[in-house]
Amino acid sequence: MVDYNAFLSTTGRELHESAIRKMGTLGVRIPDLVSFAAGFPDPVTFPWEDLREISGELLSGRDGTVLQYGPTRGYKPLLDAIVDVMAARHVRTTTEELLVTTGSQQGLDLVGRVLLDPGDVVLVELPTYTGAISAFKNVQARLVGVRQDADGVNLDDLDAVCQRERTAGRAVKLLYLVPNFQNPTGLLISLQKRRQLLEWANRRDVLIVEDDPYGVLYFDDVASEAETRAIKADDQHGRVVYLSTFSKTLAPGYRVAWMAAPATLSARFELAKQSMDLSSGIFDQRVVHQAIRRGVLERLAPRLRDLYRGKRDAMEQSLRAEVGDALTWPDPKGGFFLWPELPDGLDGDQLLERAIEERVIFVAGSAFYVDGSGQRRIRLSFSHPAPDRLQEGVRRLTSALKPAVANRSMQTR
């Protein structure tokens, strides 16, 4: 027998499996499962007709470059279109600053490879996105948590943690943030705090990694487009590496996303990407480019906001009807997630075991914390299930919760 462990590199040995992907395998094993685990878009939003038409035209065979290798930076007309997408987000960029990536997940991986050495510090919120945790841990970075307020990362704690790490002789390089409708909490960083964060990053010589998959998906009963203004929009000194994606707006299957960074860094990201995949799929990029050019994305955006706002309402209403005040959560102002706090004495991982027996899954909160905490939180994604499945899932979740909260407010409903 070959001892493959002996062949693994340090990185290979320490690769981390995403907690959310792991849950995905349950869907295959358990029939009739309702999943509140993955942050998948609702497939009813996919613009099938437009995509069929665009793909048909591209695949007519008239243009051989459609299925050819593409440039590492990205398909130039798509890069030009992204310059306009960024302008609509109040960010001025040039194509020298942009790089098309295979999902924002690849962007996070590139950030890790190009900017981090083992032991370098990345400051992250408590909680933060699991995909960023894996990407940065895979290059053996040291992830250090910062407390969070209702309007995002706590500035006092941020500075204290940064200074503490520096005093201990460690290189604090990055602050990773999801300012719009954070995965997993749904929180929105206030405009004032965004400006303060930029000022802080300049003062403390730290780069901000601004990850923005959900900014377009604000719920207009509680948030406005103005409140989603990118931190990068006010970045006078080149402090921000910005990532966004077409995954949550057009379709994640294309795996088309982008990053915008100061040109010197973008050139480095491009070199790193060359050795990973040469380029992202050119056909996918051309479909996305046409979808932008033909106004498909622009037409979709208001429908997406309405649909997901409705799904948020549906999940909140059925949870309140089923469990009363046994669960509480911050009101999400956009995005895909509810972030309930569990009653005293109940643990997210234990609840998940009972929930699996009831054929419903979610992500236990501990997956989002780099300090080992989060046991009393769970992340429920309302984006994917159809309305009847959403209600059924909440009923099953309630059955899983029942033994633990039998004597609490569930009985008062």
Contacting residues toward ligand PLP, per CB under 6 A: 39, 103-105, 129, 131, 178, 183, 211, 213, 245, 247, 252, 257
In the complex, minimum distance from the CB of residue 103 to ligand PLP, in angstroms, rounded to a whole number: 3
Reading the block at residue 383, the tokens are: 């984006």
In the complex, minimum distance from the CB of residue 72 to ligand PLP, in angstroms, rounded to a whole number: 18
In the complex, minimum distance from the CB of residue 244 to ligand PLP, in angstroms, rounded to a whole number: 8
Q: How far apart are CA 197 and CA 328, in angstroms?
A: 29
Q: How far apart are CA 112 and CA 352, in angstroms?
A: 31
In the complex, minimum distance from the CB of residue 285 to ligand PLP, in angstroms, rounded to a whole number: 13
In the complex, minimum distance from the CB of residue 211 to ligand PLP, in angstroms, rounded to a whole number: 5
Task: Tell me the pairing of strands 256-260 and 152-153.
Answer: unpaired
Q: How far apart are CA 199 and CA 159, in angstroms?
A: 12
Residue 103 or residue 385: which is nearer to ligand PLP going by CB? 103
Residue 104 or residue 138: which is nearer to ligand PLP going by CB? 104
The residue whose two tokens read 């050139």 is 267
Q: Which residue is nearest to ligand PLP (CB)?
A: 103
Residue 36 or residue 129: which is nearer to ligand PLP going by CB? 129
Reading the block at residue 370, the tokens are: 């780099």
Residue 240 or residue 346: which is nearer to ligand PLP going by CB? 240
User: Helix 263-277 vs helix 103-115: angle between axes, to the nearest 10 degrees?
Assistant: 110
Residue 35 or residue 183: which is nearer to ligand PLP going by CB? 183
In the complex, minimum distance from the CB of residue 45 to ligand PLP, in angstroms, rounded to a whole number: 15
Query: Is 244 in a helix, a strand, or coil?
Result: strand
Helices (runs of H) and strands (runs of E) counted in the chain: 13, 14
Q: How far apart are CA 42 and CA 386, in angstroms?
A: 8
In the complex, minimum distance from the CB of residue 155 to ligand PLP, in angstroms, rounded to a whole number: 21
Q: How far separated are the first and last CA of the chain, in Å rounded? A: 60
Q: How far apart are CA 337 and CA 159, in angstroms?
A: 28
In the complex, minimum distance from the CB of residue 257 to ligand PLP, in angstroms, rounded to a whole number: 4
Q: How far apart are CA 127 and CA 371, in angstroms?
A: 9
Residue 186 or residue 343: which is nearer to ligand PLP going by CB? 186
Residue 104 or residue 318: which is nearer to ligand PLP going by CB? 104
Q: How far apart are CA 292 and CA 289, in angstroms?
A: 5
Task: Tell me the pairing of strands 142-146 and 152-153.
Answer: unpaired
Residue 33 or residue 37: which is nearer to ligand PLP going by CB? 37
DSSP output for 157-203:
HHHHHHHHHHHTT--EEEEEE--SS-TTT-----HHHHHHHHHHHHH
